[in-house]
């Protein structure tokens, strides 16, 4: 059971380049999400999905796209990278539902630098 | 909606000390999640609770729903406890979405 995996671990992009951050989970979780983590700020939600074919925007969606064609995979696309997107990106997943049984599991993170 | 406050922001302790990290929120929640992040590392779940108290080894988490407040305690602290501790809450009306505090950075000195 690999849990939540993310690739790559590190990436350097030039301004204007595009790329896809990969996220996969093998726990059959319905809910998946992408966060960015910046110094001095809490984790901020970029996009999330409640199941295959269903995605929605979070707090900071501009400049990012997502899709969810399978339960397992939830890639995050940067359309035209900007220095403001330099951050650490975390993917997370959980079962859908309220209450204390539905904890989130996080991937190891992707450290992205845009020059 | 995102009014999750943690205190203190930074904490330095001597090895063996009892540590308390606090988290407060503004409206009713369905669950509260305590997470740990070591420097340069991933994010690990410690506890998820909606009432009462949970204990795992030297870590204890409590929540007071009426006061909208949770505490994370570490007994007999150790340098390996040095990490950022993050509080996150899930509100009843926002489905699975979590809202995060900015974290408490703990350093335990030998």
Average pLDDT over chain B, rounded to an integer: 93
What pLDDT sits at residue B69? 96
Per-residue pLDDT at B93 exceeds 90: no
Among all residues of chain B, which has the CA nearest to that of A36? Answer: B100
- pLDDT > 90? residue B75: yes
Q: How far apart are CA A32 and CA A21, in angstroms?
A: 14
Helix (H, G, I), strand (E, B) or coil at B93: helix
Is the pLDDT at A113 greater than 80? The verdict is yes
Surface of A (25-84) touching B: CB under 8 A: 31, 33, 40-45, 48, 50, 58-59
- Two tokens, residue A27: 């726990």
Q: Compute the CA torsion angle B69, B75, B80, B86 (nearest 10 deg).
A: 0
Place of tokens 């007071």: B64
Specify the pLDDT at position B39: 86
Burial label for A42, CB within 10 Å (0-12, 13-18, 19+), is: buried
Q: What value does the mean pLDDT take over residues A2-16?
A: 95
Rounded CA-CA distance A99/B18 in Å is 29
């Amino acid at each position: 059971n690999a849990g939540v995996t993310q690739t790559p671990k590190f990436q350097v992009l030039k301004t204007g380049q595009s790329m896809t951050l990969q996220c996969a989970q093998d726990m059959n979780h319905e809910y998946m999400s992408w966060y960015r983590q910046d110094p001095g700020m809490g984790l901020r939600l970029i996009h999330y999905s409640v199941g295959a074919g269903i995605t929605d925007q979070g707090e900071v969606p501009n400049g990012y796209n997502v899709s969810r064609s399978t339960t397992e995979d939830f890639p995050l696309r940067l359309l035209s990278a900007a220095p403001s997107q330099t951050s650490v990106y975390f993917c997370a997943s959980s079962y859908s539902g309220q209450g204390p049984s539905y904890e989130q599991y996080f991937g190891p993170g992707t450290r992205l630098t845009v020059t | 909606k995102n009014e999750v406050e943690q205190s203190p922001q930074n904490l330095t302790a001597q090895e063996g000390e009892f540590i308390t990290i606090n988290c407060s929120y503004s409206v009713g929640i369905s669950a509260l999640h305590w997470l740990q992040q070591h420097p340069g590392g991933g994010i690990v779940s410690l506890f998820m609770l909606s009432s009462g108290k949970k204990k795992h080894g030297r870590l204890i988490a409590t929540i007071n729903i009426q006061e909208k407040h949770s505490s994370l305690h570490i007994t007999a602290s150790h340098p390996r406890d040095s990490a950022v501790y993050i509080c996150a809450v899930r509100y009843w009306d926002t489905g699975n979405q979590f809202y995060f505090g900015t974290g408490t950075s703990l350093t335990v000195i030998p």
